[in-house]
Structures are given as C-alpha cells and as structure tokens.
Amino acid sequence: MSVRVAAIAARLASGSARLAFGSALLAIAAPLAATTLDDDAAGLITVTAPRENGYQLRETGTATRTDTPLLDTPQTVDIFSRDRLDDQAILSIGDALRYVPGAFAAQGEGHRDQIVLRGNNSTADFFVDGVRDDAQYYRDFYNIERLEILKGPNALTFGRGGGGGVLNRVTKTPVADSFAEAVGQVDTFGAWRLAGDVNTIVSGPMSARLNAFYESGRNHRDVYELERWGVNPSLGFDLGGRGTAVIAYEHVEDYRVVDRGVPSDGRGVAAGATRLPLRGFRDSFFGDPDVNRSQFNGDIVTFAADYALNDSLSLRNRTRYGDYDKLYVNLYPAGTVVAATANAPAGFDVEAYSDAQRRHNFFTQTDLVWKAELGGTRHVVLAGFEYGRQTTRTTRINGSFPAKGNALRVFAPLADPFVAPVPVFSSATTGFRDVHGSVDVLSGFVQDQIEFGDHVELLAGVRYDRFALDFTNVVNGARFARTDNLWSPRVGLIVKPVANASIYGSFARSYLPQSGDQFSSLDVNLAALKPERFDNYEVGAKWDITPALNLAVAAYQLDRTNTRANDPDRPGQFLLTGGQRSKGLEASLTGKILPNWQVAAGFALQDAEIRTTTTAAPAGRKVPLVPRTQLSLWSRYDLSQRFGVGLGIVHQDRSFATISNSVTLPAWTRVDAALYVAVTKAIELQVNIENLFDTTYFPTAHTDNNITTGTPRAARFTLRSRF
C-alpha cells in the first residue's frame, strides 16, 4: 500500500500534465482574444444578450422520459441553467445544492459527491442524460448544459434507489453551428482553472464538439492539493431530418488531498448534551499530508439516438459504458476532543484506512414513444426496457499504528499544526476486506400521459425491475446472492384551471436493495432482508407568472421502510434504523422579474425523523443533515449594457451531524456577491465573492467527528471569451 500512496503523491507533484493541458487551452483562448480585443464600443452587446432563456427553463425530458413542460410534470424539479451556473461560478454539486430547497450536500468523506434529498442520504443517485452514473467521485460541470434536481422517488423513470430524488446532468452535444468559448479562472486562494468548448460542422450531416478543462485547486485549509482534468469529444449526426445520433467519449482524472474536517468538542459538555464542532481550528488539517490522498480515473463511452419512425411514433436509445478506478487513503478524527488531564493533553482518537475500488458499468435503455388521440383524449404512451450490469471489486485495509502497539485507534494531542501518528497498511491487519460484487438489472416499464381536454391530465405507469446481486467475500470465499423482483407504480393528476398554471397530486414508489447504494456489503443477515421502500405523496402548484418567471410550491410526505443509516462512529458501516418519515413544504421562484433582473429564490420547511424504535435509534430521533428551515436567494441585476451585479443569500437552520443526534451543526447565514463586466463584444469579466461577511459556519459532516468547515471570504475571477 505504501507504493500506492507514493504513486499518488508523485502524480500530484508532476507538472507535465498541467503544462501540456494548460498550453492546449491557452492555444484556444489566444485566437479568441486576438479577434475581439480590437472591437470598438459600437460592437458592445448587453450583458444579457446570450441569455434568451436566462434562469427559467420551461421543459425537460428527464422527469417523464418524454419531452414534457415543467408545468405538466407532477413532481418538484429544480434546474440550474448554464447561464445560472456561470453567473454564480458554480463548479460543484455541493455549491449548487446550497441554493436548492430540500437538498443538502453531505461531506462524502472528502473524496466523492454525496447528497441528501428530502432527508435521504445517497452516494449513488446521480445520472447523466437520464442514465445512471453512480461511481464515487466529484463531478465537474465543464461539459453540461444544465443541472437538474428531481425530488421524490421515481423508480418508473430511474429505477432502483432515488429515495429522496435524483440529480441529473444534461451534457453538451454537437450542434449545427460553429463556435468556441474559452474560460480562465483564478481565486484568492491561488486555485486556477482553464476550460474550452469548441463546436464545428465537419460535413453536412455531421458536427463535432470538444469540451475540456484543467484545474489546480487550493482552499482555506492548511493542507490541500487538487489536480483534475477532463476531456470530452463528441460527434453528432443528423439522421436525414428524422432524428439525431451522438457518440461521445469522456476521460476524467482527479487527484486530491482527502480532508475529513474537524472533530466535535466534548470538553465541558454535560452527559447527554449535544456537542458542537471544534471551533478555532477552521483551517487546521487533522490528517497526514503524506497519507490523505485520493486518485480517480474514469473512461466513459456513450451513444444516444433519437429517431422519428413516423409523425406519431419515435424511438430513443441511451447506452453508456464506464470504467472507473478509484483509490483513497486517509487518516481522520475518530473521536470527540476530550479535555486535558494530569496525565495527557487535550486531544482525540484517530484511525486510518485505505480503500481501492474498480468498477465497470454498462447500461442501455430503449424507449418507444407513441402519440395518439383515442376517444377524445390525447395520449403520450411510453414503453421501454433497460438492462444494466455493474461489477465492482473493493479492497479495504485498516491502518495500524506501530508506535502504539499496532492499535487500530490511537490518541493524538490537539495541536495546530496537528502532528499525526504514522499508520501502516497491511492486509494482515484486523478488518481487512476484499469483496467482489456483480449486479444485473433487467427492467421494463410502461407509462401513459393522458390529456382530458385542456384542463385535466393524468400520468400513470408502472415499472418492473429484476435486481440480481452476486456477492463474494474474496478473503474467506463466502458467497451470497439475492434476487429481488420489484414493481414500482407512479400516478399523477394535473389540473390546469388556466393555461399558465397547474395544480397536481402524485404518488410514486421506489426500492433500494439492502446491499446499499454501492452494493458493497451483503451477508447472511442482509441477504434475508427485504429492500428498502420509499413512498412519496405530494401535492403542489406551478404558475408561470410570466413566460420567463415561474413560481412553484409543493407539500410532501415521504415514508421510508426497512431503513439503514451510516454508523455515527464507524465509517463504511451501517445501522438498521426501522421506518423513517420526511415531510415538508418547498417553494421556489425562478426566472426574470424584469428583462434585466433575474432571480432564483427557494424556501423549505421540513422535518425528518425515525418512526420505529430499533437498537440503532429510538422513534422520534431526527434524521441527520436535515435543517428545519432553508432559505436561499440569488439575484442578478444588469445596471447597463456593460455592467451587472449579483447578490446571494443562503440560510440553513441547525441540524444533526448523524443519526446519533449527539452533535449539532449550528444554524448559519452566508452572503455572496458578484460583478459582471462586458469588456468587448466577445469578452466578459466577472468577480464572484463567496461569504462576503466572513461568517464562520459548518456546512456539512460525515460522522460525528468528520465535520466540514465553511470557506472564509474569498473571490473568484473569471474571464470568458466567445466567438
């Protein structure tokens, strides 16, 4: 294992990839600048000129697998348009979710995306163009047109999981046009980033597009490194005017320090009282710079085709293959800070482990959509099937500390800078795990969207999934298997009293087999358990106040049974927690108030608690990472043709770090700001200031003693050139 750690460190230290990639992107940017710097003032355009739709998008094909207006979708859907992602300089899922009511970013142990939607925590509910993308890594937004957050379980569309909803990225694809864009960014921590997007017409029916980025990251923590890059070439084909086909390849690499944050502070806390995160150590790194490393490599090939067989019948296919290689090694706080005694200083326990995973994903889904009129009603009938196969090999090695008698957990004094004990990783250490799992999923589904005149619509459908898991413990040869046959219905009724408003009620169900999000564990006990079930009841209303401004409200109750949760003290382990109920009210206002004034506002009032007493948690205990209230506001106002300003406010109520309810993350409010300048016709400059008033806050956690510290005041400068 020491060889692997050394390899990661060497890769991070290497500058050849940075120089090569940076030179390539600068080569794209140079001609752009040369063609635009001499533009005179008469050629200036308004800051909002390329923003025809702005923040408000009117339809999506993701929620129902058919092109459906959001007004006619019986589900809460929050969408970040490309304009909004750019305006807020959002580069990560965590940054985006702060502005989504009812959504929360979990820490993900410092090496992956992890989300909490309506009180349900997941590492797997990620999709690309409607196809599952559940490998564990940080997703970048360099090649997407928009980000969609769909709330509530909906197995009819997405299959297993998605208990609280899913997150879908819609990628950029070739278009029948020629253009290029180059983006350069730098922030006050010293991080920098280059990205390029080039599209060209190769021949009459064929276009090509290339998206690429490179990022060298820094942040407020005393120890942090990040190097990641990606390239995504694609070819698009016009199928004789009856449809399109796209073939794409993506390669991504991510090398970074794994940062698990700070522990909780148990000093002076009475027995039974909740603890708070450790204060005064916002920038302190409680790990080992030579150990806490992560490397990820991904290679993904996709094929997408849409073809109209005739005026009423169309065929659609999405196929995706991914090869993912992941290794992370870390040392982290494993206990609360305890007070000094006569024999020992103040400090906390630490542990260490390494985890290597290789995964191969293959998914293909084919849909047939038929539009017809029958008996005075209009129908959009969807029928299709999906096949998926995922194979995973995971090896976990616990670290032991030779200086402390090879113990797996040792005490470390609280200090800044922190001096970590040195771990050794060996397969002979207690807790060594080497497992192989394969999953085969075969699904069929049917759905009908029925219009009864102009005022009433009904969506109804059902999906069948055959989920077969084969799990082998390579260490002892034990093998377990389980097959689940799952039926997931969905029904929604939409009433449109006027053309620009709708009222809806809906019910949807989804399942998650007990092998978990990443099907990383299965034993004789779990193999005997029924899958987790998610039932969502929702009523809501949507109103297009103007064609460019939408107001949406929803109330929901989401019941989860046969539930499991992360163990507060043992990363990677789970507890069975019985039944869980989430309920809440969500509201959002998105779009243009005036032609030069855009807004995205959200509010959530929510409660999530355990409903059944188990050995893991009593009934009434609160689900972690679910603040009672959330408020968010982002607004951009263009002062003139050349200048615009932005303002953002985020508030989150207090929440608990884990199901133990022993550690509270305090409530916090953060203010962001931005300035936009159209330098010339094709060059834009913007400055985004995060945490304008330098608020101290703790946005998320993974365990009771892995708590993320909020970023202090920082500025990011962006130069964007288009032609």
3-state secondary structure 9-75: HHHHHCCHHHHHHHHHHHHHHHHHHHHHCCCCHHHCCCCCCCCCCCCCCCEECCCCCCCEEHHHCCC
Only one residue has tokens 């038929």, namely 370
pLDDT band of 574, cuts 50, 70, 90: low
What is the identity of the amino acid at 168? Answer: N
Higher pLDDT among residues 530 and 668, named by residue:
668
* CA nearest neighbour of 624 among 671, 576, 565: 565
Q: What is the mean pLDDT of residues 21-43?
A: 37
Q: What is the mean pLDDT of residues 386-401?
A: 95
What's the pLDDT at 226? Answer: 96
pLDDT band of 623, cuts 50, 70, 90: very high
Coil vs helix vs strand at 443: strand
Whether 484 and 511 have beta carbons less than 8 Å apart is answered as: yes
> Among the residues of 137-275, which ranges form H helices?
155-158
What's the pLDDT at 667? Answer: 98
> What does each C-alpha distance from 132 to 167, 203, 249, 675 come to in angstroms?
10, 32, 16, 37
Whether 718 and 677 have beta carbons less than 8 Å apart is answered as: no
**pLDDT tens digits for 230-287?**
999 999 999 999 999 999 999 999 999 999 999 999 999 988 899 999 999 999 999 9
Residue 465: in which H helix or E strand, if any?
Answer: strand 456-473
Residue 618: in which H helix or E strand, if any?
Answer: none
Q: What is the mean pLDDT of residues 101-108?
A: 94
pLDDT band of 618, cuts 50, 70, 90: confident
Residues 6+ away with beta carbon under 8 Å from 595? 48
Does residue 22 carry a pLDDT above 50?
Answer: no
What is the identity of the amino acid at 267? Answer: R
Whether 597 and 107 have beta carbons less than 8 Å apart is answered as: no
pLDDT band of 564, cuts 50, 70, 90: low
Interatomic CA distance for residues 577 and 565, integer angstroms: 7
pLDDT band of 513, cuts 50, 70, 90: confident
Number of helical (H) and strand (E) elements in the chain, helices listed first: 5, 40
**pLDDT tens digits for 178-236?**
999 999 999 999 999 999 999 999 998 999 999 999 999 999 999 999 999 999 999 99
Q: How many domains does the chain have?
A: 1
Does residue 630 carry a pLDDT above 90?
Answer: yes
Structural domain of residue 532, as residue ranges?
2-722
The token pair at 672 is 């962001």
Mean pLDDT, all residues of the chain = 90
Does residue 521 carry a pLDDT above 70?
Answer: no
Q: What is the mean pLDDT of residues 455-472?
A: 95
Does residue 481 carry a pLDDT above 90?
Answer: no
Interatomic CA distance for residues 65 and 58, integer angstroms: 15
What is the identity of the amino acid at 336? Answer: T
Does residue 536 carry a pLDDT above 90?
Answer: yes
Q: What is the mean pLDDT of residues 579-600?
A: 96
Q: What percent of the chain has pLDDT over 90?
A: 80
**pLDDT tens digits for 293-315?**
999 999 999 999 999 999 999 99
What's the pLDDT at 527? Answer: 57
- For the chain, state the CA radius of gyration: 25
What is the identity of the amino acid at 510? Answer: S
**pLDDT tens digits for 378-387?**
999 999 999 9
The token pair at 38 is 């001499």
- The model's pTM is 0.90
Interatomic CA distance for residues 702 and 337, integer angstroms: 17
Does residue 35 carry a pLDDT above 50?
Answer: no
Does residue 456 carry a pLDDT above 80?
Answer: yes
The token pair at 45 is 């355009």
**pLDDT tens digits for 70-93?**
999 999 999 999 999 999 999 999
CA 564-566-567 angle, to 5 degrees, is: 110
Interatomic CA distance for residues 376 and 381, integer angstroms: 15
What's the pLDDT at 372? Answer: 96
Interatomic CA distance for residues 281 and 254, integer angstroms: 27
What's the pLDDT at 33? Answer: 37
Coil vs helix vs strand at 79: strand
Does residue 355 carry a pLDDT above 50?
Answer: yes
Q: What is the mean pLDDT of residues 363-377?
A: 96
Per DSSP, what are the bridge partners of residue 245?
237, 305
Tally the residues of the chain: 723
pLDDT band of 579, cuts 50, 70, 90: confident
Here the CATH number for the domain that contains residue 439 is: 2.40.170.20
Rounded to 5 degrees, φ, ψ at 617 are: -160, 140
Does residue 125 carry a pLDDT above 90?
Answer: yes
Does residue 634 carry a pLDDT above 50?
Answer: yes
What's the first-to-final CA gap in the chain, in angstroms? 49
Only one residue has tokens 């890594």, namely 137
What is the identity of the amino acid at 483? Answer: T
What's the pLDDT at 530? Answer: 78
Per DSSP, what are the bridge partners of residue 120?
117
Interatomic CA distance for residues 437 and 480, integer angstroms: 10
Interatomic CA distance for residues 56 and 69, integer angstroms: 12
* CA nearest neighbour of 602 among 589, 591, 616: 589
Lowest model confidence (mean pLDDT) among 94-98, 497-501, 577-581, 671-675 = 577-581
**pLDDT tens digits for 406-448?**
999 999 999 999 999 999 999 989 889 999 989 999 999 999 9
pLDDT band of 723, cuts 50, 70, 90: confident
Whether 98 and 633 have beta carbons less than 8 Å apart is answered as: no
Only one residue has tokens 């995971």, namely 394
What's the pLDDT at 561? Answer: 87
Does residue 19 carry a pLDDT above 60?
Answer: no
What's the pLDDT at 606? Answer: 97
